[in-house]
Amino acid sequence: MPEQQPLGLPVHRTAAWSFGSAAEYRDVLGGLQPGYSYSRVDNPTADAFAQGVAALEGAHVDGEVVGQPFASGMAAISTVLMALTRAGAHVVAPWEVYGGTYGLLTTVLERFGVATTFVDLADLDAVRAAIRPETTVLWGETLANPTMSVADLPALSAIARDAGLTFVVDSTFASPAVVRPLEHGVDLVVHSATKYIGGHSDVTGGVAVGRPDVLSRVRHDRIDLGGSLAPDEAYLLHRGLATLPLRVTRHCSSALAVATALADHPVVERIDYPGLPGHRDHDLAVKLFDEGRFGGVVTITPRGGRDAGLALCDRLRLVMRATSLGGTHSVVSHVASTTHRQFDDAALAAAGIGPAAVRLSVGLEDPEDLVADLAQALDPL
């Protein structure tokens, strides 16, 4: 191997490693000495990616911050929740939670005896009232999907700390280029790295970062559950870290331009974007987020109900109809029929999601072109 350090991350495309002796094999696999044995357990490329995210999230945190890589955001979320709960445990989560997380809590974990109470996280008294003796996890989203509500991270961290809970935040919609929840007292941060961290709509992955004592439990369950990140995907995700601040800055500035241009459109009933002064959580966003960065997602609710939302999606020419977000191209989803299809009408209403809501992930195109495309799509509605 050359002594010089490569500028690009090496890809360790191997399922297993060989050992000089049976004793070395035993000790590495048993955690008695450092090393690698099997890529489902650990892989150097995947570890480099996870530690890169941990370095960003823990940039201004006292104490060590470590990361665990996963094959998808849902693999990270499910493993974290399984590691922090047991039969009879209880979770407090926001109504406006990602549909995949909602489905996990209300179907999979519920089958195994884990109960969930959904609340409005902005109502701190309601959060406190929802906590039970058996509660182990307070779950939040830095920027809620798709209402773009902002979690009061310091206040919620204090509540979790006083109750002895682990406070976990899904920060996918923000990324560490907008805010780093660990700086505000959060115990564990998860990301669907498929989104802004990868940034190019060409890779799937997830990551969880936080204190070593919490992540050690998550790592054990990751190994047993098998949702480990492959080395080629880890390479692509690690590459995305280098351009993350540049891309997110453009996403955020263009999203603000789009939200501002459409805020007073006569066909638009509601715009959800915390960069707008009229958003409920604008002042909190200014306090918590890096200057000028309010996320790259704008949720547009046109007048006319579900059919109007579907029609808005269909009339767009530049913006594409596609799942996921955080990539170079702008994409839309009709929320009630896609990302939050697990929600019935009552759950949608409780989460503050209208039946016409359309989630727009603003890409890297010229914002004037995006505004023009949205305007022509809205005009006939």
141-180 confidence digits (pLDDT tens):
999 988 999 999 999 999 999 999 999 999 999 999 999 9
244-378 adopts what CATH topology?
Aspartate Aminotransferase, domain 1 (3.90.1150)
Q: What's the pLDDT band for 341 if we cut at 50, 70, 90? A: confident
According to CATH, what is the number of the domain 22-239?
3.40.640.10
Residue 364: the pLDDT is 98
Residue 241: the pLDDT is 97
| pLDDT tens digits, one per residue of 55-88 | 999 999 999 999 999 999 999 999 999 999 999 9
Residue 250 to residue 283: CA distance in whole angstroms: 21
Q: What's the pLDDT band for 344 if we cut at 50, 70, 90? A: confident
Q: Higher pLDDT residue, 344 or 17?
A: 17
| pLDDT tens digits, one per residue of 200-246 | 999 999 999 999 999 999 999 999 999 999 999 999 999 999 999 99
Residue 1: the pLDDT is 64
Q: Would you call 163 exposed, middle or buried from its count of C-beta atoms within 10 A (0-12, 13-18, 19+)? A: middle
Contact (CB, 8 A) for 149 and 276: no
Q: What's the pLDDT band for 134 if we cut at 50, 70, 90? A: very high
pLDDT beyond 90 at 340: no
| pLDDT tens digits, one per residue of 26-65 | 999 998 999 999 999 999 999 999 999 999 999 999 999 9
Residues of the chain with CATH 3.40.640.10: 22-239
Residue 133: the pLDDT is 98
Average pLDDT, the chain: 96
Residue 52 to residue 59: CA distance in whole angstroms: 11
Tell me the three-class secondary structure of the chain, residue by residue. Answer: CCCCCCCCCCCCCCCECCCCCHHHHHHHHCCCCCCCCECCCCCHHHHHHHHHHHHHHCCCCCCCCEEEEECCHHHHHHHHHHHHCCCCCEEEEECCCCHHHHHHHHHHHHHCCCEEEEECCCCHHHHHHHCCCCEEEEEEECECCCCCCECCHHHHHHHHHHHCCEEEEECCCCCCCCCCHHHHCCCEEEEECCCCCCCCCCCCCEEEEECHHHHHHHHHHHHHHCCCCCHHHHHHHHHHHHHHHHHHHHHHHHHHHHHHHHCCCCCEEEEECCCCCCCCCHHHHHHHCCCCCCCCEEEEEECCCHHHHHHHHHHCCCCEECCCCCCCCCEEEEHHHCCCCCCCHHHHHHCCCCCCCEEEECCCCCHHHHHHHHHHHHCCC
Residues of the chain with CATH 3.90.1150.10: 244-378
| pLDDT tens digits, one per residue of 79-133 | 999 999 999 999 999 998 998 999 999 999 999 999 999 999 999 999 999 999 9
Catalytic residue set: 40, 98, 170, 195
Residue 180 to residue 293: CA distance in whole angstroms: 13
Contact (CB, 8 A) for 378 and 268: yes
Percent of the chain's residues with pLDDT above 70: 100
